[in-house]
Amino acid sequence: MPKTRSRRASKVRSAADSKQVLIDAAIKLFAERGFDGTTTRDIADASGLNISLISYYFGGKDGLLQAALEYIESYLNKPELLQITPDRTRYFEGWRHFIADFMRSHVANPNMHRLVQREQERDSLIFKTMVQQRYAPWYKRIMTYIEHGQSSGWLKPHLNPSTVALAIHGAMVQQVRLDVFLHQLRGQTLKDSAHLEAVIEDLCAILLAGVEGSG
């Protein structure tokens, strides 16, 4: 074990690299074992770094969890997505890019999704704080995009923006959460790139057709 840790640690060039290695290890272990089932020693061993760096960089396991959740939020909340536009075609293309990016990101990084779900169910104070500070603004951004579509006459004006945002988000999340079940039921999995792209197209067709206005 010491030799393995030494080889892996030698590849780390900066404090930023060290932090990211620890965050990546924490996301994987927290997703697989849960926060309470993971120790700082587990994370240090998985990362190949000295356990003292967890306290040095994050102040402990709680701080590392917060950093992990912040990283996940920043990974998904890309500034180029859902940009306000005066053009109807580009507006709906924006929705397609958003849905496609969300699905591809979650399939490529399933541990991120699993960790968020675990913390949501655990209802930890750290997660509640994250919802207020980072995830709520992300939802607000989605609702602003919806409101823009409504005011432009492109989306049905009578729909509640928060209901639309939750419906779109929920539909995408459920596709990811139930992938194992659907694989057992129908032999299809989002890990198959062709099936993933087909699901993205289906979601776009179903969700956008349901909210599109006549303007």
Residue 15 confidence (pLDDT):
82
Residues with Cβ within 8 Å of 97's Cβ and at least 6 positions away in sequence, in order, are 81
pLDDT of residue 74: 85
Same domain (yes/no): 43, 101: no
Residues 7 and 112 in one domain: no
Q: CA 198, CA 105: separation in Å to the nearest integer?
A: 16
Task: Examine residue 72 and state whether it is found in any structural domain, yes or no.
Answer: no
Q: Which residues contact 44 (CB under 8 A, 6 or more apart)?
A: 50, 51, 53, 54
Look at residue 37 in the predicted model and tell me its pLDDT: 96
**Closest residue by Cα to residue 69 from 58, 82, 79:** 58
* Integer Cα distance of 54 and 22 in angstroms: 7
Indicate if 129 and 207 belong to the same structural domain.
yes
Domain carrying residue 177:
77-211
Per-residue pLDDT, 11 = 53
- Structure tokens, 199: 């699901």
pLDDT, block means (10 residues), the chain with 215 residues: 44 77 96 95 96 96 95 87 95 96 90 89 89 88 95 95 94 89 89 94 92 79
Whether residue 60 sits in one domain with residue 97: no
Pick the closest to residue 48 from 24, 13, 29, 21 (CA basis).
21
Q: What is the pLDDT of residue 1?
A: 42
Residue finishing a domain among 44, 66, 88: 66
From 158, 163, 165, select the one nearest 142 (Cα to Cα): 165
| 148/57 same-domain check | no
CATH assignment of the domain containing 51: 1.10.10.60
Tell me, what's the pLDDT at 7? 44
Q: Could you give the C-alpha distances from 4 to 20, 44, 45, 90, 91, in angstroms and in order?
A: 18, 12, 10, 50, 50
Do 120 and 180 fall within a single domain? Answer: yes
> Cα 127 to chain center, whole Å?
14
